[in-house]
Structure 1
Amino acid sequence: MSRSSKILPGVLVTSALLLTSIGLGTVGAASAPRTTATAVHPGHVRAVSTASSPEDPDGDGYIPANPPVTGATPSTQDPPHRYFHEFQANCSVSHTRPDDPIVYPQQPGKSHDHTFMGNTTTDAGSTTASLSAGGTTCKAPGDLSGYWMPTLYNNDRQILPVGPQVIYYKAGVTDYTSVRPFPKGLRFVVGNPMQSADEFRHHRGFVEGWECGDSYFNTEFPASCPDRADVQLNIRFQAPSCWDGKYLDTPDHKSHMAYPVVKPGTNDNMCPADHPVAVPMIEFKMAFPVNGDMSQVRLASGPGHSFHYDFFNAWDDRTLKALVDHCVVGGLQCDARGYDQTHPEAGAALNADYRLP
């Protein structure tokens, strides 16, 4: 079967254009040459754009890795226990826009509104090359990646995170020494704006849901939060950390990635056989400056349980490898410089300017 004729499980290829406005945006008859309807969750269907782009000229949704990773097998090793194996990417909000270069490439205005962090140039036309030539709001200049999520509103007022937000890069598998950097151009969507509240609550990426004050594990926004200057609305959500080694993107923007599985007879996490490459597990830890009456708080994608986010890797290869090797493989708890204050003898991966020394 040729790559252009592949159909992912749950994907129904339709000849007619989808004209309905849904959580991922509105697809119009004059602007989207092809669309697939994807049954991502039971009872939910969402549009998946298959418009062509410079990185996917045939518009089939598959972007092959070049080169692919071959011969990889999931690691079953159990290295010496280290409680931490992570570093942070601290990135501020750069802009908002109704664009999504992963779901709706080359189709400006087709998505619900997104809040973008990291790369300052991210828009509907973004490619690996354009991001690599852009600027960044991240502390590490080598992190030119695009990070985005649906914009939060209180009534019709945008509520944007203030200052650097915490984006963790962690080991999602027990063998933290097997984690390797993302390939340049890897992109994926975490979560689904069409998910139900129950699906959101039981998503593999769910950590503690929406939090404010002493209220947590909420699938929807709390009705109210303590009206104090030190209280914000928070959420943490984790991404899959196993890659198939073949594609930088797939039509549903998810199937090339997978969450770890439990090694039989143990409590160890390992990558599944069809996604054998362990990569960093991204965890968004976002803080929104809103409290008090929360009854009018919503996401651009809908209610609180529609939360999801996107990642488009454009790290400088050498910088990302230095941080992954030093902090994740090295079993450290690092800041954005790759420095673990509890292990000063290990030094830092980056210098005081957050660049490679």
Structure 2
Amino acid sequence: MNPSPHLHQIIGGNAFNATMDPADGDIAEKATCTTCQFSEDFSNYWTAVLFFRARNGSYHRVPQRPNVGFEGGNGGMTVYYMQDGLATFQQTSRVTAFKTGFRMLVGEASARGKEEAKRFRQITYTCLQDLYTRYPETLDFPKQPCPEGIMANVRFPTCWDGKNLDSPDHISHMAYPESGTFESGGPCPASHPIHVPQLMYETIWDTRQFNHKDIWPEDGSQPFVWSMDDRTGYGSHGDYVFGWKGDSLQRAMDTACYVNCPVLKTQSIAAMNRCTLSSAIDEPIDDWLKALPGYTEARKPKK
């Protein structure tokens, strides 16, 4: 839909557009820059945007802060492609890289309950005590102020049907392991036999300026809300469009590398920051707002 029913934040290559038909060409060839550290990655990654809802009912967009190691970046998110679990630094398993034209979605924007959210494994939140905090994780928003912000974690399914680059719901061509998890080496189901990388997003929402309880709701309930008017956190979701140049991602997946990957080209944080697109938003998204951007009764998300 153009305009979208709710606000998103997008990172990656500058070929991103409201319509991105694979028949129009490879976005890795159309993009001229990327906000990613690996300069051969012109993929696009996006999530909803977090807002703070004050006691008086007004909204303010929550800024992002860079993860450890990316100080100086324009917020953004950390994206992982893993052959094994995050704790297995050797990364030695064999996985098949995504193909040109591949795209997927995980999560359900309209979910407002725990059972709905459980359909998608490992879409969680971490209340950061410091920038190294990773546990515990919750399915809903943290209930107390988080000293260093809220990390939103999005992990995608890791089993592909091997045939379809997309599906009508952007989900069905992918599946979770038949048993266990990707991190525990769980096998893929027969319907989706191809192991692909574990794609994971970490976005640190800088909630520090909103941690004063005197501006939280009078009943003490948590004040954060996704841009699709989700005050529970269960509606968290992530989108992905593959755009790595040539065989660069497969080369990386065939190499036991962690954070720094010698088979890939990298760029500086300054170069990452220089890659921008003009905003397509025709309404205010910053300062104090009376309503969420794009949110009207006619376009209210289904509950």
Fold shared, TM-score > 0.5 on shorter chain: yes
Where 2:125 maps in the other structure, the secondary structure is strand
| 1:270 alignment partner AA | P
| 1:349 alignment partner AA | V
Counterpart CA distance in 1 for 2:192 and 2:92 is: 16
Ranked by relative contact order (alpha carbons within 8 Å, sequence separation 6 or more), the top structure is 2
1:298 positional shift: 0.6
Q: 2:223 aligns with which of 266, 280, 296?
A: 296
Alpha-carbon RMSD across the aligned residues, in angstroms, is: 2.8
Q: Which aligned pairs between 1:156-175 and structure 2 lie closer than 5 A?
A: 156-162=59-65, 163=73, 165-171=77-83
* Inter-CA distance 151–130: structure 2 relative to 1 (3 Å threshold): farther
Structure 1, unaligned runs of 5 or more:
1-106, 339-347
1:205 positional shift: 2.7
Where 1:147 maps in the other structure, the secondary structure is strand
1:258 aligns with 2:175: yes
| 2:144 alignment partner AA | S
1:225 positional shift: 1.4
1:147 aligns with 2:45: yes
| 2:227 alignment partner AA | A
Counterpart CA distance in 2 for 1:285 and 1:297 is: 17
Counterpart CA distance in 2 for 1:317 and 1:191 is: 29
Structure 2, unaligned runs of 5 or more:
54-58, 66-72, 217-221, 269-303
Q: 2:108 aligns with which of 180, 188, 192?
A: 192
Where 2:165 maps in the other structure, the secondary structure is strand
Aligned identity (percent) is 25
| 1:235 alignment partner AA | A
Question: Computing the radius of gyration over CA atoms, which structure comes out larger, 1 or 2?
Answer: 1
* Inter-CA distance 352–146: structure 2 relative to 1 (3 Å threshold): closer
1:124 aligns with 2:41: no
| 2:81 alignment partner AA | Y
1:353 positional shift: 4.4
* Inter-CA distance 125–201: structure 2 relative to 1 (3 Å threshold): closer
Where 2:9 maps in the other structure, the secondary structure is strand
Judge conservation of contact 1:261–1:271 (CA < 8 Å) in 2: yes
1:184 positional shift: 1.1
Q: TM-score, with normalisation over the residues of structure 2?
A: 0.66
Where 2:234 maps in the other structure, the secondary structure is helix
1:202 aligns with 2:100: no
* Inter-CA distance 117–225: structure 2 relative to 1 (3 Å threshold): same
Counterpart CA distance in 1 for 2:202 and 2:40 is: 21
1:245 positional shift: 1.2
Q: Which aligned pairs between 1:1-357 and structure 2 lie closer than 5 A?
A: 107-128=1-22, 129=25, 131-132=27-28, 133-134=30-31, 135-155=33-53, 156-162=59-65, 163=73, 165-171=77-83, 177-199=93-115, 202-206=118-122, 208-213=124-129, 216-226=136-146, 228=147, 231-262=148-179, 268-291=185-208, 292-293=211-212, 295-301=222-228, 302-303=230-231, 304-327=233-256, 332=257, 334-335=258-259, 337-338=260-261, 348-351=262-265, 353=267
* Inter-CA distance 275–248: structure 2 relative to 1 (3 Å threshold): same
1:110 positional shift: 3.2
* Inter-CA distance 198–172: structure 2 relative to 1 (3 Å threshold): farther
Counterpart CA distance in 2 for 1:271 and 1:188 is: 17
Where 1:322 maps in the other structure, the secondary structure is helix
* Inter-CA distance 143–352: structure 2 relative to 1 (3 Å threshold): closer
| 1:160 alignment partner AA | P
* Inter-CA distance 258–120: structure 2 relative to 1 (3 Å threshold): same
Where 1:178 maps in the other structure, the secondary structure is coil
In the TM superposition, what whole-angstrom CA distance separates every residue of 1:8-50 from its partner, at most 9, and x where no partner exists?
xxxxxxxxxxxxxxxxxxxxxxxxxxxxxxxxxxxxxxxxxxx
Q: TM-score, with normalisation over the residues of structure 1?
A: 0.57
Judge conservation of contact 1:159–1:288 (CA < 8 Å) in 2: yes
Counterpart CA distance in 1 for 2:105 and 2:266 is: 32
Counterpart CA distance in 1 for 2:160 and 2:154 is: 18
Judge conservation of contact 1:172–1:241 (CA < 8 Å) in 2: no
| 2:178 alignment partner AA | V
Counterpart CA distance in 2 for 1:268 and 1:177 is: 9
* Inter-CA distance 160–126: structure 2 relative to 1 (3 Å threshold): farther
